[in-house]
Structure 1
């Protein structure tokens, strides 16, 4: 690195420098995996020296933890900001699904860090990913509860039934997002519509030619 580059590196605000390092780490880890990713490669991708990465983020584990935490916050924020609280339950679910699939599409490396890398490399990474997933499950469960009450104000679905449906829906969304990475036809909008058709209209309705709109 040249003397001028070192001066620029010193003058960059810390928050911006850390963001630059995390961006590089997410790209490298998302594409090559946590074990295969080296601090040398991450530093090179960030355009900084390896000692500077260690100075800011201390260790590879700490760097990966920061990546998982940031991507989890980004995904939750994207879903939360997209959902209009005054919309009907199906409209909220549609907005949430669309935001989720857009995140997975636009931040494909970040999605792999969350969905694959964090879950397969033990604590504390898996716990962070599970915390993010639990928040999404809570959001979906609340929507299903709201939908059930709107359809029949006299009866709520049982807790176990709602929880099972929420897990099934979130699992389907995760699977479809992973599948979309290899299928250009599965755009975020197409993925969200596919899941809305299946989840809201139901298989019986689809066979009968019905579609969610």
Structure 2
């Protein structure tokens, strides 16, 4: 009887297996400490095969960043539900974001920590992902403002700033949630909604907070803290 031939694993499947191992290793050990030997062992392949498929440690790390960035942006876009009120759209997008970062903490560590701190090329890859999310949130807020009142006095540049602030807060909260036992994605999204939506909700309705005049800044700020807005 002849030897039984085993079915050869397709290249794409094998490559994803290597990327899975690399994301786990980079996310948990950091880019500098991670070794190709360790990644190959975790993937169940030889180190030469990793080099054959992905060329170098730098190329492997770049491939990890790109894959995780694509997965995160797709998750946020898929999670946001068009046609709902503005607060529900933001809620669904934030919930999708925190669900993904909680489900794939190693991928989030690669994107938010490792990619940003180990070279300009890697940082640029992560920045491109972040810019896409900020642009998406900018358009979401802008569309919500236009729906809330027909002629909103809300410049797109200001909306972009709000989106930057919101995304930055979400990133920091995701780091905290992943490091804190028992915090769910729903709780993280609710925390950020409670922090951000009171202000955004007023903006959607055309009620804007204005800085006090320079002459009475301290007094105005103190009065504003004790008196309801008019």
Alignment check: 8 A CA contact 1:145 1:156 kept: no
Q: Which residue number corresponds to residue 91 of structure 2? A: 94
Aligned partner of 1:111 among 94, 108, 111: 108
Compared with structure 1, are the counterparts of its residues 75 and 53 closer, same or farther at alpha carbon in structure 2 (3 Å cutoff)?
same
Q: Which residue number corresponds to residue 151 of structure 1? A: 148
Greater displacement, 111-120 / 149-158: 149-158
Q: Which sections of structure 1, spanning at least 5 residues, go unmatched?
A: 208-213
Greater displacement, 151-160 / 76-85: 151-160
Aligned partner of 2:9 among 1, 8, 12: 12
Q: CA deviation at 1:159?
A: 2.6
Q: Which residue number corresponds to residue 128 of structure 1? A: 125
Q: Where does 1:60-79 land on structure 2 (aligned, <5 Å)?
A: 60-79=57-76
CA deviation map 1:124-166 (0-9, x unaligned):
2111111110111011111111222223212241233212111
SS of 2:128's equivalent in the other structure is helix
Greater displacement, 152-161 / 169-178: 152-161
CA deviation map 1:94-134 (0-9, x unaligned):
11111110111000000000001111111321111111101
Greater displacement, 100-109 / 79-88: 79-88
Query: Of the two, which has the highest radius of gyration?
Result: 2
Distance in 2, Cα, partners of 1:131 & 1:163 = 16
Distance in 1, Cα, partners of 2:33 & 2:104 = 20
Q: Which residue number corresponds to residue 83 of structure 1? A: 80
What TM-score, normalized to structure 1?
0.88
Distance in 2, Cα, partners of 1:167 & 1:111 = 18
Alignment check: 8 A CA contact 1:140 1:166 kept: yes
Q: CA deviation at 1:201?
A: 2.1
Q: Give the total of aligned pairs.
A: 200
Aligned partner of 2:161 among 160, 164, 170: 164
Distance in 2, Cα, partners of 1:87 & 1:122 = 41
Q: Which residue number corresponds to residue 210 of structure 1? A: none
**RMSD of aligned Cα (Å):** 2.1
Distance in 1, Cα, partners of 2:162 & 2:183 = 23
